[in-house]
Amino acid sequence: MKPSRPLLWVFLLPTLVVLIPALVFGFSAVQILKERVSHNHTRQLEDLSALHQAADYEQSLGELHQSVIDMLQQADLGELSSLASYRLHSAFVNELAALGRQVQELTETQLMVDLNHGSAQRLLEAFEAYRRFIVMASDIATVDPTQAQHYLDEAQHEFLRFTMLTGHLSARLSERAQVRTEDSYRTIHDHLNTVTLLGVFTLLLMLLAAFYSARVLNRHLLTIGDALLSLSRLRREAPELPRIQRLAEQGRGQLRQIARAVLRLRESEARRLAAERKAHQLTHYDGLTELPNWRMMSEHLEHSLQLCQRTGQYGALIYLDLDLFQQINDSYGHRTGDRLLREVADRLRGFQKERCIPGRPGGDEFLLVIDSLPAQADSAATRVEELADRIRLAIAEPFTIDGIQHFLSASQGVAMFHGSDDIETLFKLADAACHQAKLAGRDTIRFHDDAIQSVMEARNETKRDLRLALQRGEFRLVYQLQYDAGRRPLGAEALVRWQHPSRGLVSPAEFIPLAEESGLIVPLGDWVLEQACRQLVAWKQQPASPPLALAVNVSARQFKEPDFVERIERVLDATGADPHRLKLELTESSLIDDFEAGIDKMQRLKALGISFAMDDFGTGYSSLQYLRRLPLDQIKIDQSFVNDMLASSDGLVIVRTIIAMGLALQLEVVAEGVETEAQLKSLIAEGCHAFQGYYFCRPMPVDQLQALLAPAAVN
């Protein structure tokens, strides 16, 4: 929009609102004042003229009177002839006539009129009497000087009276002129005050009007400026401009045109952003599934590489190829194939919450970039293998399209990275691993690293063997006794061992985590609990066995089962074990997710007579506030703290604190992992009186335990 004169007037409006009325008011006030001054000046000139006439009149009358006196003196001395006397008489008559006209003019002046006291009439009467005596005196001056003198005396008397009257009138005229001058000054002064007050008041009104006008204009300009600033910012969507919309609808003149121009600019910006989004979508996303394409996945992978390089964590690239997809696509058509690909993409999107970014480079292939994996290679590979397995299971679920179920599987190749790898190399390694997965029979997962692949295969094999171990009866229980400070047995802890048919004894550190991951820990835990209860019954039937309490470990996943309490009750009913001799050892992680539900389960089992111990105490979120609400009977100091107590002052402080907390809550404190006499003495000195560890005995089968307990039973 080109600038125009109306727009200039919009900006000048606040100034003009003040300037134009101020000029009009000022001009009007000056004109009125000028008229008042001119009027007063005219009146003053008239008053001065009247005073000047009165003065001239008095002077002329005095000169005339002196001339008459001189004439009478000459006549009395006989020095004046009749002709000369007649001429002087005629001159006196003419002069008196002229003075009569002056008196008449003087009485008609505005100043004499304003006196309003009859002064003008008295002046006329006095002059008329004086004129009459002067005429008579000058007329008979040569005939009868004596009589003329008489008339002159009378005229003298009238002259004096007339002079006094004119003097009084002159004084009155002067006073009146002064009063009128003061009135004029006062009038002008009052007018100036009135004009000033009205001017100030009008100026204030004009300033308020200008301020309001400027404020309205400023608000509109700020609205337009904010809109332009908002449009100038980088954003994905064009901003909404409701105030500009209102201005375009309700505004007037140039501001309305500007608002409409801004709205057109917004529409243009919206079209530009839409075009950019479309271009970005076309260049960075797959048109069919709307997943990131090869280019976008390369950027994601580059970002993940930088992140791993900064944090020291691992990342992974999964190359996923759909098995036998081409057969479905050829048999049912591209429409079915496209819908299958879109549904596969939807299922892969479900893993985004696990920092897994899916993409589709093309065809029936997909990519997944995973970052923020553990910094240890084995742990990172385990996490990736678990995620890839869940992806495999998700794709294995049937797809229903047009009422027909289709089944797919996925071969996955995994390339691990640690920040210093090359993008192209990673793509090649993942693709090669995916090819190996297909050669291995499809629906499988392969790592590009042989060592990692071997570890994963060993883990998977262990998982498969673990599922069969319960059925084959490969698990057995061993028992480790707990002692008091006098080395007398107080109880025992049941520990599970796996006797593999080919590998021999498998460490619990190896198979327990796998059981947790696979969910086998729940049936395994149920088996351990049942065997422990049967052992309690067996000991009870042997009088030579001391009345030991038997502790059984309960995993967090097992404890969180909704029917955990009912399972315990069924085992007790089935075996006939004494619940008062059964102790369940929980970890702090068992209670973190739902603290109140965990307390409820413990209290229900506590009512049956079962006691509870907190295993590995101090490794979680232990606190007095936390402990005092739990119906515990015992806490166990983790063996890592026992090992550190003599090596560092911090370790000793931790052990001392745990013992103090247990004693404060009247709980029995058991130290795990006691292996030396020095540790035992230090624990006794700190107030701990129950111990478990290799210093006393190793975990052993039940027959060896019976032999060890026989002397204790006799004692």
pLDDT computed for residue 550 by the predictor: 94
pLDDT computed for residue 360 by the predictor: 93
Residue 448 backbone phi and psi in degrees, to 5: -70, -25
Domain 490-495+519-714 has CATH 3.40.50.300: no
Give CA–CA dist 659/636, Å, rounded. Answer: 9
Give 463-524 as a DSSP string.
HHHHHHHHHHT-EEEEEEEEEETTS-EEEEEEEEEEEETTTEEEPHHHHHHHHHHHTTHHHH
- Residue 78 CB-density burial (10 A; 0-12 exposed, 13-18 middle, 19+ buried): exposed
Give CA–CA dist 647/640, Å, rounded. Answer: 11
pLDDT computed for residue 365 by the predictor: 93
Using alpha carbons, select from 598, 563, 569, 465 the residue that is nearest to residue 520.
Answer: 465
pTM over 0.75: no
Give CA–CA dist 302/322, Å, rounded. Answer: 25
CA 523 to chain centre: 52
- Residue 266 CB-density burial (10 A; 0-12 exposed, 13-18 middle, 19+ buried): buried
The CATH architecture assigned to 285-448 reads 2-Layer Sandwich (3.30)
What average pLDDT values come out for the chain (715 residues) when binned by 10 residues? 50 62 70 71 70 72 74 71 73 77 73 64 72 70 65 68 67 69 74 76 74 70 69 63 69 68 70 74 84 90 89 92 88 91 94 90 92 86 90 93 91 86 85 85 82 69 84 91 90 92 86 84 93 92 81 91 93 94 88 83 94 80 70 90 87 90 90 93 92 93 85 49
Give CA–CA dist 368/345, Å, rounded. Answer: 11
Using alpha carbons, select from 20, 19, 13 the residue that is nearest to residue 253.
Answer: 13
pLDDT computed for residue 368 by the predictor: 94
Cβ–Cβ under 8 Å, residues 657 and 688: no
Query: Which residues in 610-634 are b (16+ Cβ under 10 Å) and which e?
Result: bbbbbbbbbebebeeeebeebebbb
pLDDT in tens, 637-686: 988 899 988 888 888 998 998 999 888 888 999 999 999 999 999 999 99
Q: Which fold has domain 19-204?
A: Four Helix Bundle (Hemerythrin (Met), subunit A) (1.20.120)
Token readout for 468 is 């069969």
Cα 4 to Cα 1, 19, 216, 221, 255, distances in angstroms: 9, 22, 20, 17, 12
pLDDT computed for residue 96 by the predictor: 76
pLDDT computed for residue 449 by the predictor: 75
pLDDT computed for residue 178 by the predictor: 74
Cα 498 to Cα 47, 67, 520, 525, 532, distances in angstroms: 141, 170, 13, 13, 16
Give CA–CA dist 709/486, Å, rounded. Answer: 15
Cβ–Cβ under 8 Å, residues 630 and 607: no
Residue 63 CB neighbour total at 10 angstroms: 11
Token readout for 162 is 């007339």
Bridge partners of 186, per DSSP, are: none
pLDDT computed for residue 14 by the predictor: 58
